[in-house]
Amino acid sequence: MTPIYFLDGLGSNRHYVTRLEEALVEQGFELTYLALPGQPDNFDCPIETLEDLTAWFNKQTPNTPFILMGFSLGADFAAYLAKQSSHVSHLILLDGGFMDFDVFGYSLEQELADTKAYFASETFADLGEKLREEEKSADYWGEDLEKAVRHAYVKKENQYQLNLNSEIILNLLKIRRDCQFVISKPDFSVPTLMILSDSPAEFLDFKQTQLSKIKNNHITSKILSNTTHHLYLEKPNQVAVTIKDVVSNFSKTL
């Protein structure tokens, strides 16, 4: 089995990745889930700098070749960490790793304010009602997603709130600004697969414009039709097959 270490996105937890992990096993991969600091599965890991994040990452990963995969915020950091590591043989970015917030026109101050407002808004008294709302809006629903939603919230003072360490999460958003769009640099040399969603269409246009700015020949991009940002939840089997097909064709092998 080929090892993949996976950095998930903001607000995710190990239960969300259940079906993707099963699909990857069928393709000959063994997935190890790495929860970003501040997430439910890694709540109290203090991170203030990219050096802190790199030190944490190095403790979680082996000194032998492995594939690194990241989703969303996890993809942004995965690109940076892959460049720093001598052990990452291939990089897989799931709908992430392409952001340049200066180009996008989204200031750090606004992002932090929006994130704090989102944290404050995600409070409710009835977890059962929340589960029903999530099931109603989901294209797929199963025991894995119910566990994921339950794990995403914690009850405090008779209210459910996000099971996130807000201080650490805000620190992550700050240090992400110091490692934006790493894959575009001329000296980036890790064989990389980007799997992108095609919806919303206007954001796909932004992604494609960003890809046109890449100054190296190490990036392969694939667009999954009829997917949103949560593509690995929507089409786990297609994601796994795409990974298998592209990784097997990379010139650099494990």
- 152-211 pLDDT, tens digit each: 999 999 999 999 999 999 999 999 999 999 999 999 999 999 999 999 999 999 999 999
Percentage of the chain modeled with pLDDT above 90: 96
Look-up: residue for tokens 């592209």?
246
Q: Give the separation between CA 235 and CA 99, rounded to whole angstroms.
A: 23
State the CATH number of the domain containing residue 163: 3.40.50.1820
Contact 214, 190 (CB under 8 A): no
Peptide bond into 40 cis (omega under 30): no
The CA-atom distances, in angstroms, between 210 and each of 96, 183, 254 are 11, 10, 29
Instruction: Indicate the pTM of the whole model.
Output: 0.96
List b or e across 153-165, with b for residues whose CB sees 16 or more CB atoms inside 10 angstroms: beeeeeebbbbbb
Q: Give the separation between CA 170 and CA 79, rounded to whole angstroms.
A: 19
CA atoms within 13 A on the CB side of 177: 17
- Which domain range does residue 159 map to? 2-251
The number of domains in the chain is 1
Provide the pLDDT for residue 254: 44
